Amino acid sequence: MADPDVIADEEIILRRIPPGNYWQAPAPRIASTNFELRPHETGVSVSRNRFTSPEKLLSLAPAARIGEDWRVAQAVVRDVRAMGFDVIPDPISDDTGHALLISAKSLLTEHSARKRLAKAFRLLPEIDATDIPTT
């Protein structure tokens, strides 16, 4: 059995994308603003598809906002690592597949790095709200 603390290069990671043009660029792209760190954050929150399905990830959106055209984007870990980011397991109570994209070089403060990340992630097809599990 594979070690859950090791994230393989072939793994798919998911990022929940809020509704609106500020976050969702014309499909299949997403906006680089999805990778800006908030003051209290040390890395960009993602989920490992191996543990968390896109439907489950959407179910974790703030309850009042489910059904507001939230989307899920995916990337391959290898592509993210090639940009200088580490993908670190960071399981949390409601998402055992939670992980963080971090960089010792503070790449997330650079617009060009966030733009490259946005290009590495692709929007998945829209998920029907009836497919989103209730938690």
Instruction: Give, for 47, the enclosing helix (H) or strand (E).
Output: strand 44-48
Instruction: Give the pLDDT confidence score for residue 121 in this predicted structure.
Output: 94
pTM reported for the whole predicted model: 0.84
Using one digit for the tens of pLDDT, what is the confidence trace for 52-75?
999 999 888 765 455 567 889 999
**Lowest-pLDDT range, 6-15, 82-91, 107-116?**
107-116
Quick one: which of 72, 100, 76, 75 has its CA closest to 86?
100
Beta strands per DSSP E along 49-126? 71-76, 86-89, 98-102, 122-123
The pLDDT of residue 104 is: 63
